[in-house]
Amino acid sequence: MAKKRQQPSRGGSSKMQGFIAGAGEIVQQDISETLRQNFMPYAMSVILSRAIPEIDGFKPSHRKLLYTMYKMGLLGSARTKSANIVGQTMKLNPHGDAAIYDTMVRLSRGYEALLHPYVDSKGNFGKVYSRDMAWAASRYTEARLDPICRELFQDIDKDTVDFVDNYDSTMKEPTLLPATFPSVLVNANTGIAVGMASNICPFNLAEVCRTAIALIRDPEADLFQTMQAPDFPGGGQILFDRDQMGSIYQTGRGSFRVRCRYSYDKSANCIDVTQIPPTTTIEVIVERVIDLVKLGKLKEIADIRDETGLDGLKITIDLKRGTDPDKLMQKLYKLTTLEDSFACNFNVLIGGTPRVLGVRELLEEWTAFRVECVRRRTYFDLQKKKEKLHLLQGLQMILLDIDKAVRIVRETEEEAEVVPNLMIGFGIDQIQAEYVAEIKLRHLNREYILKRTQEVEELEKAIAELESVLSSKAKVKSIIVKELEEVAQKYGQPRRSMILYADEVEEVEITQEVPEYPVNLFFTKEGYFKKITPQSLRMSGEQKLKEGDEITQQMEEQNSAELLFFSDKCQVYKMKASDFGDIKASVLGEYVPAKAQMDENERAVYMAVTHEYDGYMLFFFENGKVAKVEMSAYQTKQNRKKLVSAYSDKSPLAAALYVKEDQEVLLTASSGRMLLFHTGLIQPKTTKNTQGVQAMNLKKGQRLMSARLYEDGMLKNPNRYKKNLPALGALPDGEENAGEQLKL
C-alpha cells in the first residue's frame, strides 16, 4: 500500500523503492515482481523477435527486409536505391533506417559475409574482414534480390507458410520463408539475446543439400560422408579433428580452429596472406604483429602492410634475410589471430522455443518444416484445380445445348433471375451458373467451349496425382529430394575453405630467443653437468667434483646446442644448453637425473650434443653387438622432452658415442682383446631400438668393456687390430702394454 512521504529504507531488504512521477508519493515494490513485469517481457521479445534465427535460417529483421524487396519486384529486375528499400522496409520493421541498412549490408554480395548472398549489391558495401572499410550511405548504393532468393520465395503465394499482421495491422508478412534448401546451415548467423546466444557456422550449399537428401533416405546416414566440415566465405584452412567435429555435429556446441592461407614470394622475400579466419580483421592482425615486433618477439619481420584492393584481401609481411617463412608462420599462428577458434552454438527457434540442436536434428527439423510447406502447397494446388474442374464441368453441360442457354438468358426478364434459371435449366450449381453467365457473347461458340472442356481430363489426372501426393509421405519427401538436387546443381559452388587434418599439422612450440655465445660443456661419470663460459674457465682453478667422480665428456659448444642425455633405462631426455645456468668450475654442477626429472634409480650415462640432428648414434652392447642409429630418429615434430626405447634393451649398454661422420672406433673386451674398425662398415638404421650387428666375437664369460673414438698415435701398430667383422680382435703385444695410451 502506498505511504505518504515514506523515507527510503536503509536496511538490506529485498524490497526496493520506486518513485511515481507527479504523484508526490513513494511506494514500495517487490523487486522480483518488478523484474517479472518489465524485464522478462523484454527478454522474451529479444529472444523470440530479434536475436535468434528460426528454422528457415532468418531472423525477423532479415525476413522483413527480403520480403519487402520481393514485394517491390526486385527479384530479377533492375536495382533500385538502397534508401528506397530501407524506407519501404520500415512498413514492416519500425526500428529505424540505420538498423535496416546494417541488415542489408550483411546480406549483400559486396560485404562478403555470406557464402550465398541474398542481396545483389552495387556500390561500396564495406568488407566483413576490415574494421575500417565502412560502407557508403544508403543514398549512394543500389541493390536487388540475388537469383538464389527464388528458392526462398518459391510458392510463397500458395499458402505454404502462415502470414500475420505487421505492427500496425496495415499489411501482412510471412512468419517463415518456404526455403527449398536448409538455408539455416548454408549462411552464417550470429545473435546475442538476453541470457542466450546463437552462432551458426556456414556449410557448403551442395554438401548441405546432399546431406539433407542422405538423411531423408536414411535417418542413420553418416554425416561425414557428405559434409565433412564447415565452409567459410573468406576461405581459410580448417583444422579438422574428427572427434571434435563429431561433437559439434551431435550437440550443436563446440569449437574448431581456422587458419589463414598464405603464399611466399621468393623474389621479394615476403609472405602474402590472402585469406584470414572469419573471427578477425585485417587491422587486428596488423596491429598485433606490430606490437610483437616492438616487444622483440618477432625479430624476423622487417615490415607489414595492408595491400587489400580490388583483387581482394592481402596482407604483406616483409621478411629479414635468412628467415624461414614456414617457421615464421607457425609462430604467427600461435601469437596472432592468423589462427583463431570458431565457437559454435546452434541455437534455433523451433515453434517459438529456443533449442540447441546438432546438425542431424537441425536437418530433421528443416525436413519436417519443408514437408509441411510442400503439403500446404499441394493442397492449395489441389483446391484450385478442383475449383477449375468444377467450373469446366458446368461448361460441359452448356455444350449440350448452347441455344438453350442463350434462350434462357434472353427470355429472363430480371438480371437476378439469370443464374437461378441457368441452374434449373442445366442442373448445375450456383458457382457453375455464375461462371456460365459471365461468358462473353463472342465466346458462345462450340470451338471455345470445346477448348475449355478439353482440360477436364488433364485436370482429373492432375487432381488424382495431387491427392496421391497428399496421402503419401514418401512422395512428399521425393519432391523435396528433387528440389534439393536442383538447388545443389544450380547454385552449388566448390569449397572455399581447405581442410587440414589436425593430427598431420605440425605444431611448433614458441620459445624465447636464446642468447648465443660460446660455452664449455662438462659431463661426469656420476651424471653431473656443468656449463662454463670460456672467460670463467680461464679464471677458474681446479674443477670441483663429487668424491670418486670424474669428467667423461668435455667439449666447446654454443649456448643454443641441443643436449640428449641417454639413461641406463634405454630412455633419452632432450634439453638445451640454455636450460642450464652458467656456473663456475668451483661448483659441483647440476645433477642431470633431477633436472630432467628421470625415473627413480635412473642414471644418465652419455650426453650427445647436436644442432641439426645430423650424424649417427653408436651403441655398443656387452654382447659385442653395435647399433648405428641415425640421429634424426631422435628429432620429433612435437619437440618432446622424453623418448622411450632410445636404444635396445636386449643386452646391457657398454658405451655410446655420437659421430657426425663415420670414423674408426677402438673396442676393448674383458679378455683384453682389442678390435679397431671403421663405422662405415655398419649400416645405419632409423629404428632406435635396433639390436645392431655383431662386431666383436666374445667367448663365454667375456663381455665388451669399452668403446672410444680412435685417434692417431693411440696404437703403435693399428693394422694388427683391424679385422673383418665380426672378429675376436687381437691381444696387445709387449710394445702396446709398455705404452700409456691404452689406459682407460
pTM beyond 0.85, yes or no: no
Residue 733's pLDDT is what?
Answer: 76
pLDDT per residue over 515-539, tens digit each? 788 999 999 999 999 999 988 888 8
What would the mean pLDDT of 29-36 be, rounded to a whole number?
80
The partner residues of 273 in beta bridges, in order of sequence, read 262, 315
- The strand ranges marked E within 631-730 are 642-643, 653-659, 664-669, 674-678, 693-694, 704-709
For the stretch 686-703, pLDDT in tens is 889 899 999 999 988 899
Q: What is the largest CA-CA distance in the chain?
A: 154
pLDDT of 735: 62
Q: Name 588's Cβ contacts closer than 8 Å, sequence gap at least 6.
A: 528, 544, 545, 546
pLDDT value for 512: 60
Instruction: Quick: pLDDT tens for 444-463.
Output: 777 777 777 778 888 999 99
How much is the pLDDT for 737?
54
pLDDT score, position 507: 66
With respect to CATH, is domain 371-491 assigned 1.10.3720.10? no
Q: Is the pLDDT of residue 743 over 50?
A: no
* pLDDT tens-place string over residues 391-442: 888 888 877 787 888 888 888 888 888 889 888 888 888 998 888 888 877 7
Q: What's the rounded Cα separation, in Å, for the pair 526 and 545?
A: 10
pLDDT of residue 703: 92
Report the pLDDT value the prediction gives residue 509, as an integer from 0 to 100: 62
Q: Residues 548-574: what's their mean pLDDT?
A: 92
Tell me the per-residue pLDDT of 246-255, one tens digit each, with 9 for 90 and over.
999 999 999 9
Range picked from 18-27, 203-212, 729-738 for highest mean pLDDT: 203-212
Q: Which ranges in 272-349 belong to alpha helices (H)?
A: 282-294, 325-335
Q: What is the predicted pLDDT for the residue at 4?
A: 38
- Position 86 confidence tier, pLDDT thresholds 50, 70, 90: very high
Question: Average pLDDT for residues 662-670, to the nearest whole number?
Answer: 92
* Integer Cα distance of 119 and 432 in angstroms: 46
pLDDT, position 579: 85
Which positions ≥6 away from 13 have C-beta within 8 Å? none
CA-closest candidate to residue 618, choices 675, 568, 674, 692: 692
Task: Output 7 or 413, whichever has higher pLDDT.
Answer: 413
pLDDT recorded at residue 305: 94
- Residue 313 three-state SS: coil
Sheet with 625-630, strands from edge to edge, namely: 653-659, 616-621, 625-630, 693-694
pLDDT score, position 193: 84
Q: CATH topology of 52-179 equal to that of 371-491?
A: no
- Indicate the burial class of 722 (C-beta count within 10 angstroms; 0-12, 13-18, 19 or more): middle
Instruction: Decide which of 316 and 36 is more confident.
Output: 316
- Contact criterion met (CB below 8 Å) for 682 and 628: yes
pLDDT band at 29 (very low <50, low <70, confident <90, very high): confident
**Mean pLDDT, residues 293-311:** 89
User: Is the pLDDT at 314 greater than 70, yes or no?
Assistant: yes
CA dist 725 → 43, 198, 235, 681, 694 (Å): 86, 73, 60, 8, 7
What pLDDT does residue 344 have? 95
What does the pLDDT average to over 41-66? 89
Out of 42, 67, 111, 140, the active site residue is 140
pLDDT at 454: 78
CB 220 within 8 A of CB 239: no
- The confidence score (pLDDT) of residue 513 equals 62
Asked if residues 696 and 681 have their Cβ atoms less than 8 Å apart, the reply is no
- The predicted model gives 719-734 an average pLDDT of 85
Where does the pLDDT of residue 18 fall: very low under 50, low under 70, confident under 90, or very high at 90 and above? very low
Name the residue with cell 461462371: 435
Q: What local confidence, expressed as pLDDT, does residue 341 receive?
A: 94
Active site residue 140: yes
Calculate the CA 368 to chain-centre distance. Answer: 28
The CATH classification number of 261-337 equals 3.30.1360.40
How do strand 80-81 and strand 518-524 relate by DSSP bridges? unpaired
- Provide the pLDDT for residue 391: 87
Closest CA to 79 of 106, 41, 109, 51: 109
Q: Give residue 172's pLDDT.
A: 94
Domain assignments of the chain as residue spans, ordered by start: 1-37, 52-179, 261-337, 371-491, 514-611, 613-631+644-744
Q: Cis omega (within 30 of 0) on the bond before 718?
A: no
Say how far apart CA 208 and CA 183 lie, in whole Å.
Answer: 9
Q: What is the pLDDT of residue 383?
A: 94
pLDDT at 665 over 60: yes
The grid cell for 676 is: 679397431
Residue 435's pLDDT is what?
86
Percent of the chain with pLDDT over 90: 62
Integer Cα distance of 104 and 86 in angstroms: 9
Fold classification of 613-631+644-744 (topology level): Neuraminidase (2.120.10)
Q: 52-179 architecture in CATH? A: Alpha-Beta Complex (3.90)
Are the CB atoms for 528 and 588 separated by under 8 Å? Answer: yes
> Which residue would you say has higher pLDDT here, 74 or 45?
74
